[in-house]
Amino acid sequence: MDDLSALARQQLDDARASAHGRSGHLFLHDGPLRQSVIALIAGTVLDEHNAPPAASLQVLHGRVRVTGSGGGQELTAGQVAMTPRERNGLMALDDAAVLFTAVTEVPDGERRRPTAAVAGA
């Protein structure tokens, strides 16, 4: 069993030591399910990338902005949201650590359906 708080602290330490200001660790990989802790130093950006079929982002520490064609969505520690289906990126507004959960494939005919808005918003 992994301790998310400890993983977040470790990734934040690694991000602070990195010339790129970011660090990530894939800690769960089970078939199409992936979970990673990603840390970004304030002002650091993950460039826009293609989105998996289904994904969510939970902020463990700090504050981030999910970027994309629809503008952006700000999330703070404790909040969770589904990521956009289209290309998106991530910008750290403060030193931040997030839990990124992705499903890399879904059975035909089973596309995700939004069921909740940002928690705590």
CB 92 within 8 A of CB 41: yes
Mean pLDDT of 25-34: 95
Closest CA to 91 of 18, 34, 22, 15: 22
Mean pLDDT of 46-63: 93
Closest CA to 39 of 67, 54, 20: 20
111 confidence band (pLDDT: 50, 70, 90): low
Closest CA to 97 of 12, 18, 36, 13: 12
CB 53 within 8 A of CB 107: no
Highest mean pLDDT among 10-24, 39-53, 59-73, 76-90: 10-24
